Structure 1
């Protein structure tokens, strides 16, 4: 692919991230998230927040609500407010929502350790132990989806159910032009954006922003393939991608088939795992589709996966 096309694609991806940083209601205005006639206040306060000493990190975390625990794992360059401000209130009504900021992100300062999906998964495991939470539902978006896959592979005893939004389990799970664009990401693309402003405002040294950008993208510049391990995950899994996402349809379908999909449920019964391809939805737009996503996620988490489908 022509380098100018790849670079242009990279700029478009970063621009899309900037647009998506602020959640929008159905009427197009930034602010409250509307679900039917209910306006959900995004400015709820955590019941608990602080830092956990895990694997050499001082990992920042927040806890909201009560009920069965669900852990939210953010995407690349994101933080709790940028990725989850409009999601937390929708889940915290009847769940304990645990959110954290990964190595080098937000208020979790970087350390002299390679950034990796495996390392971040171990950090999440350490945080759950710190919070005395034996197991939880795990939801990961984009980079967080990769962390969630590795968490389920490395710490299966801590996973109840797994939700992956626009995440991959192999480097070629992305469309080829998307994978090629990662190498063209530069710190200059982020200058003046909400991501840079967030980095500075949360107490990081602005002089290290360029290092942060390069370090985060480094995890996707090295080939990875966890297909065998991910197909052996025992926890029920719900994977959702957009029909205009950066994730290949075949990548998601391959995993769904391995988890029991690809058969007529009226004859063979429903698989314990699920797949959704959201219409009119991009990779970045996935986080704005709460009207579709949240009901599907809660139905998956609350459902009796051993139930027999109706017959006629």
Structure 2
């Protein structure tokens, strides 16, 4: 099925992927960029026109997310999501792509860079965690007065969005329980050190993720960059994309070879250092 959004062509479809009938959308044209949304996010919930201008942005609906039905007996895991996305790309005939993953999606994008390095070009993440919760999370930002449930007000946006597109809107309590019950332990130092892709770790200065965790991860990935977005929280790519997307766009579009960064000994020399 083909549609048109302004000047950006859009393709929608379903792919047979690891037992799923996985929904996906491709918006724009150019080099492939896979956008993996936050937990409960899905294709069409948000669009990033600046990225669509120069990329074919591929957004999958993960298992139990958006229009992709859940497999009730199959647990959710970032590892399985990563393999599902890889299978989708193979179904589409895409051998290599750049990735942009938000939160939950950032962990999935990183897993692809670790497990399938030949498929990952540049990898940008926002608000992702690379270690277990006690290391990665800021407890103050994740504190609840009462334990959250599927009908908590904090999850109203995700709940309402899910029910608008899901094959079974009444499955919301079950998929919420499955996502909430996931335990992500993160990566070993060796896995982070093995990443070959140019890699961007972006987060807000008031994110759910500890700044210290982002800095520690930045130091372990060989070709990593770190971007801390000022006056921004965990949902800034959705609430304030004008703060985040230019950073992502710059990372994806900059030339591979650049002038070396000046040290104090080198000094700044126009045309030689930056």
Same fold (TM > 0.5): yes
TM-score bin, normalised by smaller chain: 0.7 to 0.9
Give the Cα separation in 1 of the matches to 2:232 and 2:140: 18
Give the Cα separation in 2 of the matches to 1:100 and 1:79: 7
In structure 1, runs of 5+ residues without a counterpart are: 1-40, 261-271
Shift of 1:46: 4.9
Q: Deviations over 1:58-113 (max 9, x none)?
A: 1100111111110000111222233x23x1x2211121111111110010000021
Correspondence for 1:284 among 226, 235, 248 = 235
Match of 1:97? 57
Give the Cα separation in 1 of the matches to 2:204 and 2:166: 34
Provide the TM-score with structure 2 as the length reference.
Answer: 0.85
Match of 2:251? 300
Spell out structure 1 runs of 4+ moving beyond 6 A. Answer: 41-45
Match of 1:123? 84
Q: Is the 8 A contact 2:9 2:29 kept in 1?
A: no
Give the Cα separation in 2 of the matches to 1:52 and 1:75: 21
Shift of 1:178: 4.8
- Larger relative helix fraction: 1
Shift of 1:304: 2.3
Give the Cα separation in 2 of the matches to 1:192 and 1:249: 25
Give the Cα separation in 2 of the matches to 1:45 and 1:190: 35
- What value does the CA root-mean-square deviation take over the aligned residues? 2.5
In structure 2, runs of 5+ residues without a counterpart are: 262-267, 270-274
Q: Do residues 273 (structure 1) and 224 (structure 2) align?
A: yes
Match of 2:204? 242
Q: Give the SS at the match of 2:230.
A: strand
Match of 1:269? none
Q: Give the SS at the match of 2:231.
A: strand
Give the Cα separation in 1 of the matches to 2:22 and 2:9: 16
Q: Do residues 137 (structure 1) and 113 (structure 2) align?
A: no
Q: Do residues 106 (structure 1) and 69 (structure 2) align?
A: no
Pair 1:231–1:179, CA change in 2 (3 A)? farther
Shift of 1:136: 0.5
Give the length in aligned residue pairs.
256
Q: Is the 8 A contact 1:142 1:166 kept in 2?
A: yes
Q: Do residues 73 (structure 1) and 36 (structure 2) align?
A: yes
Correspondence for 1:51 among 10, 14, 33 = 14
Q: Deviations over 1:114-149 (max 9, x none)?
A: 100000000000011011111000110011111111
